[in-house]
Amino acid sequence: MSKPKPAVPIIYRHREQRRRERLRGFNPGVRDAIAELTCCSQEAEDLADSFPGLLYALVTGFGTPSAREACFNHVLEGKSLRLAAAALGLPYWTRRLPPQAFSEPLCNLPSSADFDSRISHLIPSSRILVRPWLDRILCAYHVCGEEFAIWVGRNLRLPLPEATDESFTFLTAWAWHSITLEAPGHALLNRPWTSKMSLRRAEEEVVKWRRRLSLSYSLGNGLPNAWLNAGVVGEFEFVPLLTAQDFIRESEAMDNCLDQYSDRMASGGIRVFSIRREGVPVADIELGPIARQSHLPTIVQIKAARNRPAPLAVWRAAHAWLKGHGDVPLPRRPGALKIGERRQAMRRIWVPYFAHLPERMLPSLAALLAREPLVRQSSRRLLPSDCWLFPDRFLPIGTDPVSPAPATAFTDDGDVSGTS
């Protein structure tokens, strides 16, 4: 008859249960490494409650080996956590983050005293919301700096989509183009981002900016021809709009939607002329394709400022201007940019931003841009290999973003080594 196993003292059962509960809060990819690092030290194990970010940083290779050793020694000796974090180079504001906040290795964190004091009270209390919140502010910081990261942390605290979501991806790109005056996309902004702007207003501006981007893709360096020649009839001058900047300036002057004409211009089936008097726009005329029974383009509409009806004098001048082209042979087929030219236009706008963007943020943005209808050759589902924008800049698709380093061990001679 076998002897019964001795009962495990209740204090040890509670300690082991507490240890498992602490580990459960961390990302599954680092639990084994944390368990190995903390198995022989109560001080190290207590970091799971007092400073989980410091424990996560130690097992994911944050800082240099010598910095990790100095930090761990401070913990074992019972010194202040602020001193341990400083030895590792980890910003102290991360102490307020629960273990659920960490999903990717930490790097290049905002560390100024101003950021520390302003971000602390913005950390969500919900452990479910804190991980996407941290992901968003770190993306915002890496792209646009501390001021935009604070703005994101304040405005995106609710259960909103994560940092890889389309809306946030373009919000960040719009903010970067707002503060980068030399970027080609800056000229397409309606209103740039400021720290005092509300989230709702920012989202509206992003929508306008994206429509202007599409217009720029449609027009490239400019339409190959205007169909008709510029001309003057009486006091009115007819000036063709050929580039995206032409449309944007005209839209701002006339307070209309010409800067949102990407779909119409992509078809190549229309042309737009500005009607001016003494150099000042007074109306816009939209021309359609030549009808079978005619030899001149069709007048689709003529609108004054704010889309009001144009005066009769403008209509008369427009008809006289059209009749003046009666002897000029015109093509009956509409002319639009080829898809290769649109892609070149997209590259010119996005190359500076891609050069600035952190590597881990490249695939999601590239996939979004490659799905733009104006630059796709078909409506089939986009594959990773179809990312034609910058094929040499992408990370492998489907890889785990969390790649924890081995648990940190310290040898007798003071060297730091990894354990498996």
Q: How many CB atoms lie within 10 A of CB 122?
A: 15
Whether residue 60 lies inside any domain: the answer is no
Rounded to 5 degrees, what are φ and ψ at 273? -120, 145
**Chain Cα centroid distance, residue 48:** 33
300: three-class secondary structure by DSSP? strand
Whether residue 224 lies inside any domain: the answer is no
Whether residue 193 lies inside any domain: the answer is no
What is the chain's length? Answer: 420
> What span, in angstroms and rounded, lies between the C-alpha atoms of 358 and 205?
24
Q: Which amino acid is at 252?
A: E
Whether residue 248 lies inside any domain: the answer is yes
Dihedral angle over CA of 245, 247, 250, 254, nearest 10: -140
What pLDDT shows up at residue 128?
Answer: 86
Q: Please report, for residues 22, 204, 298, 304, 418, the alpha-carbon distance to residue 28 in angstroms, rounded to integers and kept in the order given.
A: 12, 39, 65, 63, 19
User: Which uninterrupted H or E stretch holds 143?
Assistant: helix 127-144
Domain total for the chain?
A: 1
> What span, in angstroms and rounded, lies between the C-alpha atoms of 138 and 107?
9
Contact 34, 55 (CB under 8 A): yes
Q: How many CA atoms lie within 13 A of 300 on its CB side?
A: 13
Exposure letters 186-204 (e unless 16+ CB within 10 A, then b): bebbbebbeeebeeeebee
Contact 273, 287 (CB under 8 A): yes
Pairing assessment for the beta strands 416-419 and 407-410 based on DSSP bridges = antiparallel
pLDDT block averages, 10 residues each, the chain of length 420: 51 70 90 90 90 95 94 94 96 95 91 93 89 93 96 83 73 97 96 96 96 94 89 97 96 96 88 96 92 81 96 96 78 71 90 88 83 63 47 39 36 37
Whether residue 100 lies inside any domain: the answer is no
Whether residue 271 lies inside any domain: the answer is yes
Bridge partners (DSSP) of residue 31 are none
Rg (CA), the chain: 30
Query: In the numeric block, which tokens belong to residue 227?
Result: 């169909």
> What span, in angstroms and rounded, lies between the C-alpha atoms of 347 and 224?
19
What pLDDT shows up at residue 283?
Answer: 98
Whether residue 283 lies inside any domain: the answer is yes
> What span, in angstroms and rounded, lies between the C-alpha atoms of 376 and 380?
9
* Angle at alpha carbon of residue 180, lines to 175 and 185, rounded to 5°: 75
For residue 284, give its domain range: 231-323
Whether residue 264 lies inside any domain: the answer is yes
